[in-house]
Chain A
Amino acid sequence: MAYKMTVTGLDSPIALNEKAITRVVFDSETPKDSNARATDYGLGVKVYGKILFDTLGGMDDPTIGLAKWSQVPSYNGDCYRNVEINVVSASQVVRNFVIPQAFVVEYNESLDVETGVGEFCIHIRQKKDENEKVAIHGGFGV
């Protein structure tokens, strides 16, 4: 599986690929206790990956951009960004998620002395009142 994640906001875009991303989880966050289809559901994606570095210092680590995004206050319009995630396998785009008004719900990153690289997890969600703008495509050639 290959992944490509692009976050577009006011700053220069944040781009991650399969070198950094290890797992992508899409969840339509619906209440578990509903008797019929709920109106109140969220659309979120969790992305797990590695914090890589370039020994020459030339590569801009895109995960820093994710950490900074998670800190943007709600009065700043830049807290909502457009996120596009592609899952590619055998020259096919299996999934193409587009989340145009995504905000960060969870962000954490870990570094330790045992593993050579650190790890991160970001959980983003579409602004709930604009759920219909989320697009899920797939099944076409790269």
Chain B
Amino acid sequence: MDLVQGFLHLVTGGPLLLLLVGTFLGIVVGALPGLTGGALLALSLPFTYRMSSVDGVILMTSMYVGGISGGLITATLMRIPGEPSAVVTTLDGFPMARGGRPGRALGLGISASLIGGALSWVALVTLAPAMARLALVFGPFENFALVLMALVLIAALSQGSVVKGLLSGLFGMLVSYPGIDETSGQMRLTFGFEEMVGGFSYLAVILGAFAISQVLADAMHARQKFERLDPSVKGIFLSPKDYLGQAFNIVRSSVIGVWIGILPGVGASISSIVAYSVAKNMSKTPEKFGTGFEDGIVAAETANNANTGGALIPMITLGIPGSPAASILLAGLLMHNVQPGPTLFTNSPEVVSALMATHLASHIVMFAMMVAGCMMIARLMYVQRAYVLPIIIVLCVIGALAENGRMFDVWTMIGFGVVGFLLELAAVPLGPFVIGLILAPLAETQLRAGLMGSNGSLMPLVERPVALLFLLVSVLMFVWPLWRDFLRRRQTPLPA
């Protein structure tokens, strides 16, 4: 794998343009409240399909990085987290901006994002090749257990109830089953419809659940108006002394971010919550957190960007995404017949080096764009949603048509948009749904391949130590919250 070549490729015409456009769109969409970076990635899927796999990876990775970073702008200036991962940033960013230092607050967030991302890049580049070698020993049973663990992990760590999170993940799995069964070649669950032979298009389902559902939900906030901001960005550049003072916080939050990123399925918002809590608990002045304290902004923004590098590690070495957004990136790779896994490094070295180079380069581009233009991006909030939302739906329809040119896919997309919207109304997290959708085929083919190899015996699941470990963790993560809840109930009688 030649990283230098990856970087050199990035500074040639087309790829450079993709890097700039991707990062910019990521930042803008990240900053916009209704739409998340995940929705942008979903929307870009059909278009990357027409590019080479390397170009697709460059565009999607830079959107991923931009999306995670852009959320801090609106979180800091307006207390509106543009991304779920920027929720924690509002706690200290907004009070500081309100207190007359918006430039300083943004500067801390932007610099922390850059450094967190860069440190996680180091982890990505050093850990991924080693992990790939290790992952080669993962057979069908290990992969199946790992997918199971990813599903339980994301359900347990999502907002709200574990049971609902798991149900959401299982629902995603059910949606993935109709169509031709990959293992036997049989048609399954088509209910006699010819259109269903290919099953639901992933792309259409993801577009619906991630983009359409958000537009539908966002429509009810069409009347939201934002107060005009003070456009001064004094203090956006930090001094070396600032960096030194935050050095320990930055390193700690990066490690937390990367580690949580590596955990399969768990996204950037958990990273920033954990890093923030740890920073607060270890602080000599915990009471200052939440009042516009610098450490709080730095911890949250370092960790959510550090999550990106971590989340890419299992995605490229195991084909198991480390976060819901990374699962859409994974879908993009699969559509190009690029098979993430232990042998990706030998089979498609150009994809690996493009991904790694873009991860770092887009952080640098992001830093430059945000420092130079964050106030302009914030001003986009004044645009009425009535002008923006219709265009997004039309773009989604084009996206669904771009894949196969079938109206059935468009109906699928709108249908799952409505379903996703209803699920959000019922406070059901959508992250597990997407993870379940993407991972179910993998889990099923791996399990059945394993069974074909073992003549139908499930024993290897508990005989092979790695598989057993993953199974135990899954059970623990499912039982623990229920058990804790049960204990709590025993202690405090219900206010009936």
Q: Do A and B come from one complex?
A: no
| Residues of A near any B CB (own CB < 8 A) | none
| Residues of B near any A CB (own CB < 8 A) | none
